[in-house]
C-alpha cells in the first residue's frame, strides 16, 4: 500500500496551502524534530575520477573513526563527493582530517555543504514559478487511472509483439554498449570483438516472452510517480493488466478496511498519519501473505496493540474471505541506516509456497522471489543452457536468495554452493533443498567476499562455474575480484535485472590484469533477454562470460577450432527459448 490523503494531492497540484506557507520551502524538512544527516554534510574534492565509494567510506569509518551516514558521489567522473554524518562533531572532525589528506595518490580538500533541497517541494516551487520541466514524468493533466497505468505499466497500451520488439532493440543496444566498453577497457580484445560482431550480429538470442486520488479518499494502490518527481498521490489498481484478480480483490478489501478505520494514511510531506505501505505476496498455490507497514506516531504500546488487534480481526473476517492466508506487521518510523525492519507475525501462515519447474519453494515475507512464475521458469531454463553444467561441475550460486536457481539446476551439477546475506532467505533455501530432496547443495550465510574464498579449497578437481543474480546495483567490486583471482572459475553467468546499472561490473570482468586487478579477465560470449515484466520497459538480461583463453579464441577466429569448440562457429546454439518449450505465454499470466 502506498496510501495518501487526497487533501495532500489537492495541495500539491493546485497550490492550496492548508498546512502553512513554510510547507513548500524546499529545506523545511531540516527544521522538523526528526534526524536528518543532511544537517551534517561536507563536500570532498580531489578524489580520482572513478574512486571506489566503498573504499572511501571504509577510510572514514575504520581509519578515521567517523560516524558516517552516506557517501554520495556527484556522478561517475564528477566532483564533488558529498558525505553526511550522524552528528556535527563527526562532520567538523572530517573537515579537519580530510583537508590536505593524501589518498590513493591524490590530495583532498573539504568544505561545508548545504543540505539538499527536498525534491518534492523543490518541484512544487518550480511548478508555481512556471520553471518545472518534467524529465519523463507522467503528465499531471491525464486522468488518474491513465497516469497510474503509464507509471507502472508503460507498455500496456501496445501489443505484446510490439513490446517484445522494443525490448529486443533495447537489449541489442545494451550489448553494443558492452562491446564498446569492453573494447575500451581492454584494447587487446579488438580482434575478438570484431569477430563476434561479424559472426553473431549482436550475439543475443530471440527474447523469451512471458505473459484515488480524484475521489478525495484514501487509496490503496501504486504511486503515480516518485517523490522526487513532485507527486505523492496514489491511484487504483483494478484496471492494471499486470495485477492478478486475486490480488485486486485483496487490495480492494484492505482499502475498505483502511477507509473505515480511525487512522489516517501516512503523508510523506508532513510525516503525519499511520498507514504507510501494504505488500501483497501471492502464489499460484492460492497463498496470500500481507505485510502491513505502519508509522507508530505517538500511539504508544497500547495504541499499537489496539491497531494490531484490528488488523488481525480484519484478516480473520473480511481478509480471509478475500483470500488472505497470513499477516505480518512492520512498525517503522524514521528509517535508520543499518537497522532492519522487524517483521511481526500476527495471524495465519508464516510464508507462501510456490512451484517452479516441478520444485516447491517456501518464501518468507522478506525473501526475494520472482513475481512472474511462468517467466521465471523460462529464465532458469535459459540460465541452465548458458551455464552448461554436468557432473564435473561445481556451481557457485551467488546471491542465491531462497535457492531457486541452484535447486532448479541441482540435478545437472555435481556440487552447488549457495551464497546469501539475508538469513531468512538462507533458512528458506535450506528448507527448500530438503523439501525437494536435494542433497548436493550447501548454503553459506554472509558477504560473498568472505564466503567465496572458503569454497575454492573444497571443490577439488571440479570445474567451477558461477551464476550471479545480484540486486539492481550489481555486485561489489570485491566479489568480481574474487571471481577473477581464482583461476578455477571458468565462466560466469550474470543475471542482470537492470543491465544499465551493471556496466561497472561488466568492465571489471573484462579489464586486463594489473597491479590492482589480479587474474585473467572474462569475455562476453552469449546473451539472452527474458521478459519477466510484461507491459513494462523492463527485462532481465542473462550474459555468459568465459575466462579468456587466447589460444582457444585464436583457433576459433582462424576457423580451426579445437575439439569441442566447434559450437562457437555456429552462432548462438541451443536456444533457451527452444529448450524451454513455448516462447510466448499468455499476456495475462504475469
DSSP code at position 128: H
The answer to whether 10 is annotated as binding is no
Pairing of strands 540-547, 522-530: antiparallel
Report which of 398, 405, 343 is spatially closest to residue 530, judged by C-alpha positions: 405
- CA gap 465, 405 in Å, rounded: 13
In order, the DSSP letters of 465-482 are: EEEE---TT---HHHHHH
- CA gap 403, 200 in Å, rounded: 33
Give yes or no: 315 in active site.
Answer: no
Cα 197 versus chain centre, distance: 30
Q: Which residue has the cell 505476496?
A: 281
Grid coordinates representing 259? 477507509
In order, the DSSP letters of 209-237 are: P---GGGTS---BEESS-GGGT---EE--
Report which of 397, 421, 399, 398 is spatially closest to residue 407, judged by C-alpha positions: 397
Answer for the pair 544, 526: CB distance below 8 angstroms, yes or no: yes
Helices (H), 270-341: 300-314, 320-322
Beta strands in 364-403 (DSSP E): 393-398
Q: Which of 329, 408, 497, 502 is catalytic?
A: 497
Answer for the pair 286, 229: CB distance below 8 angstroms, yes or no: no
| DSSP β-bridge partners for residue 338 | none
SS3 of residue 89 by DSSP = helix
Which positions ≥6 away from 16 have C-beta within 8 Å?
A: 10
- CA gap 175, 81 in Å, rounded: 30
Q: Which residue has the cell 524546499?
A: 26
The answer to whether 420 is annotated as binding is yes
The answer to whether 469 is annotated as binding is yes
- CA gap 215, 212 in Å, rounded: 5
Helix axes 190-200, 160-185, angle to 10 degrees: 160
Helices (H), 436-502: 448-456, 477-485
Report which of 366, 306, 363 is spatially closest to residue 341, judged by C-alpha positions: 366
Answer for the pair 291, 365: CB distance below 8 angstroms, yes or no: yes
- CA gap 297, 391 in Å, rounded: 57
Helix axes 477-485, 503-510, angle to 10 degrees: 20
Which positions ≥6 away from 533 have C-beta within 8 Å?
A: 242, 372, 539, 590
Strand order in the sheet with 326-331: 275-282, 288-294, 326-331, 344-348
Catalytic residues: 497
Amino acid at each position: 500500500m502506498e496510501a495518501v490523503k487526497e487533501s495532500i494531492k489537492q495541495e500539491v497540484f493546485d497550490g492550496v496551502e492548508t498546512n502553512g506557507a513554510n510547507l513548500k520551502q524546499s529545506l523545511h524538512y531540516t527544521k522538523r524534530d526528526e534526524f536528518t544527516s543532511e544537517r551534517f554534510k561536507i563536500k570532498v574534492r580531489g578524489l580520482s575520477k572513478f574512486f571506489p565509494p566503498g573504499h572511501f567510506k571504509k577510510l572514514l569509518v575504520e581509519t578515521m573513526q567517523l560516524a558516517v551516514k552516506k557517501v554520495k558521489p556527484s556522478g561517475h567522473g564528477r566532483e564533488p563527493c558529498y558525505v553526511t554524518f550522524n552528528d556535527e562533531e563527526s562532520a567538523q572532525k572530517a573537515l579537519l582530517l580530510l583537508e590536505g589528506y593524501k589518498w590513493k595518490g591524490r590530495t583532498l580538500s573539504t568544505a561545508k555543504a548545504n543540505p539538499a533541497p527536498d525534491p518534492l517541494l523543490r518541484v512544487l516551487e518550480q511548478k508555481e514559478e512556471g520553471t518545472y520541466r518534467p524529465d519523463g514524468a507522467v503528465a499531471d493533466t491525464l486522468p488518474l487511472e491513465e497516469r497510474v497505468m503509464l507509471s507502472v505499466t508503460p507498455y500496456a497500451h501496445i501489443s505484446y509483439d510490439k513490446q517484445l520488439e522494443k525490448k529486443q532493440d533495447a537489449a541489442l543496444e545494451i550489448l553494443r554498449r558492452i562491446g564498446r566498453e569492453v573494447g575500451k577497457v581492454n584494447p587487446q580484445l579488438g580482434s575478438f570483438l570484431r569477430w563476434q560482431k561479424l559472426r553473431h550480429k549482436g550475439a543475443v538470442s530471440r527474447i523469451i516472452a512471458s505473459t484515488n486520488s480524484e475521489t478525495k479518499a484514501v487509496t490503496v494502490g501504486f504511486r503515480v510517480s516518485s517523490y522526487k518527481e513532485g507527486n505523492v498521490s496514489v491511484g487504483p489498481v483494478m484496471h492494471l493488466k499486470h495485477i492478478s484478480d486475486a490480488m485486486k480483490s485483496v487490495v480492494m478489501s484492505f482499502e475498505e478496511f483502511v477507509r473505515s478505520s480511525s487512522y489516517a494514511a501516512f503523508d510523506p510531506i508532513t510525516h503525519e498519519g499511520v498507514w504507510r505501505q501494504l505488500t501483497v505476496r501471492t502464489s499460484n498455490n492460492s497463498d496470500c501473505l500481507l505485510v502491513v507497514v505502519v508509522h507508530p506516531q505517538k500511539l504508544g504500546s497500547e495504541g499499537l496493540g489496539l491497531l494490531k488487534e484490528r488488523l488481525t480481526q480484519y484478516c480473520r473476517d473480511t481478509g480471509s474471505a478475500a483470500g488472505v492466508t497470513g499477516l505480518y506487521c512492520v512498525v517503522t518510523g524514521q528509517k535508520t541506516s543499518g537497522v532492519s525492519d522487524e517483521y511481526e507475525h500476527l495471524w495465519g501462515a508464516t510464508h507462501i509456497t510456490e512451484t517452479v519447474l516441478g520444485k516447491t519453494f517456501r518464501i518468507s515475507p522478506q525473501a526475494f522471489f520472482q513475481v512472474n512464475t511462468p517467466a521465471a521458469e523460462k529464465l532458469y531454463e535459459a540460465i541452465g543452457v548458458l551455464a552448461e553444467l554436468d557432473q564435473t561441475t561445481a556451481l557457485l550460486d551467488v546471491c542465491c536468495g531462497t535457492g531457486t536457481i541452484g535447486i532448479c539446476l541441482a540435478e545437472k551439477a555435481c556440487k552447488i554452493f549457495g551464497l546469501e546475506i539475508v538469513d531468512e532467505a538462507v533458512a528458506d533455501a535450506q528448507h527448500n533443498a530438503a523439501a525437494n530432496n536435494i542433497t548436493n547443495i550447501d548454503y553459506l550465510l554472509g558477504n560473498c567476499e568472505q564466503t567465496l574464498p572458503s569454497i575454492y579449497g573444497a571443490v577439488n578437481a571440479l570445474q567451477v562455474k558461477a551464476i550471479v543474480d545480484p540486486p539492481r546495483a550489481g555486485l561489489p567490486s570485491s566479489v568480481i575480484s574474487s571471481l577473477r583471482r581464482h583461476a578455477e572459475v571458468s565462466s560466469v553467468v550474470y543475471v542482470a535485472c537492470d543491465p544499465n546499472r551493471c556496466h561497472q561490473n561488466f568492465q571489471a570482468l573484462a579489464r586486463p590484469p594489473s597491479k590492482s586487478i589480479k587474474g585473467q579477465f572474462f569475455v562476453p560470449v552469449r546473451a539472452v533477454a527474458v521478459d519477466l515484466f510484461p507491459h513494462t520497459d523492463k527485462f532481465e538480461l542473462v550474459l555468459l562470460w568465459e575466462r579468456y583463453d587466447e589460444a582457444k579464441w585464436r583457433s576459433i577466429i582462424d576457423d580451426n577450432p579445437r575439439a569441442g569448440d566447434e559450437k562457437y562457429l555456429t552462432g548462438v546454439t541451443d536456444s533457451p527459448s527452444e529448450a524451454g518449450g513455448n516462447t510466448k505465454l499468455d499476456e495475462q499470466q504475469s
